[in-house]
Structure 1
Amino acid sequence: MTKEIYGTAAETKALLRDGQTYRLERLRAEDMITVDEAASLMRVNASVIEGWIRNCRCIGLAGPHGAMVVPQWQFESSLWSSIRRIGQSLGTQDPWQILGFLETSAPALDGLTPRAALEQGVPIGRVLNVAVADTH
């Protein structure tokens, strides 16, 4: 008897529901700020932040009503120059994939998340190597 490699319809539905719940909770998390708040933080116009989002320089996530929010921590000096390079190393421009990578612990980083590793001074090259390995 062969093992079924696909989930049931009910399992798939539950997985999608859980993913949607996670995304809604993540969009409402305390570290998320509006584009206007990010513009104020970075002392630029909101249109500059929107351009950075379009060009994958920073992570921007659309909420259920279309309002864009961004993780505030990405504007810290230890992370700011890394977001675009991480997306390139992952081979994606999808902000959810980049965010997921940054917030998931990595054995190759001694169990730290890539975000925490960068905040603690781990060289960007090491994090980029983990990102490339994550794509294989």
Structure 2
Amino acid sequence: MMVLKHKPGALKDLTLPADAQVAIVSKSARALQKVRERNKQLAGRAFRFFSGSFGMATVVNKEAFAPDARALAVLEGVRIAQEDLRRSGGAYDLDQVRTLMRGVSRQAIDKRVQEGSLLAVPGPSNHRSFPTLQFNVDGTVVEGLKSVREALPTDNPWTILNFLAQPDDRLNGRKPIDLLKQGKVDLVVEAARRMAQQGA
């Protein structure tokens, strides 16, 4: 690769290998036009002309930036998780959860999230959001959430939300969160253990 930083007026004396490719880059489209006009004998050779801010922006291989199959799967997983959240009632922010829990401190909420008895997912601007499905109608947190989370084969909050919100064949098509709200913690814990064993 050879880079000429001066302004070439004529390129006719430039000796190149037969398979050489040359890119002439300038911020000025007018300057490129002059180079083309003065070097018409180069037509058909592997000369390409580019203009634009910093010149090289137009020669970037856009395919290099395309996400691969794994990256697209991760992205689709996030979309599915967010749809789970929307369909299950959305999420509360921290202040709303403090109100539901009768003014408990932020530290108490942090502790419950860390120990697994309260589920938080990353929300807008990376602030934690608390899926509404884990709360009873009186504002209390569903019993058994910590035991279920301990039985699951993952700590990923989106995967935990997906497990809670989706009908589960291991529970005859019922949603784990609905059974938790009915007090059937053991059934849901068992389904979570079987999920871990099956690697599902």
**Smaller-chain TM-score bracket:** 0.7 to 0.9
Identical pairs, percent: 23
Of the candidates 126, 134, 153, which is equivalent to residue 74 of structure 1?
A: 134
Deviations 1:45-69 (A, max 9, x none): 2322122112211101122522110
- Describe the shift of the 1:25–1:84 C-alpha distance in structure 2 as closer, same or farther (beyond 3 A): same
Gaps of 5+ in 1: 1-8
When normalised by structure 2's length, the TM-score is 0.55
| Equivalent residue, structure 2, for 1:89 | 151
Within a 5 Å distance, the mapping from 1:1-136 to structure 2 comes to: 10-25=68-83, 30-43=89-102, 44-76=104-136, 80-119=142-181, 121=182, 123-136=184-197
When normalised by structure 1's length, the TM-score is 0.76
CA distance in 2, matches of 1:124, 1:61: 22
| Equivalent residue, structure 2, for 1:4 | none
Residues 121 and 158, structure 2, Cα contact 8 Å, conserved in 1: yes
* Number of aligned positions between the proteins: 127
CA distance in 1, matches of 2:85, 2:125: 11
Q: Which has the higher Rg, Structure 1 or Structure 2?
A: 2
The alignment's C-alpha RMSD in Å is: 2.6
Query: Which structure has more RCO (C-alpha within 8 Å, separation ≥ 6)?
Result: 1
Residues 32 and 69, structure 1, Cα contact 8 Å, conserved in 2: yes
Which of the pair is proportionally richer in helix?
Answer: 1
Residues 92 and 131, structure 2, Cα contact 8 Å, conserved in 1: yes
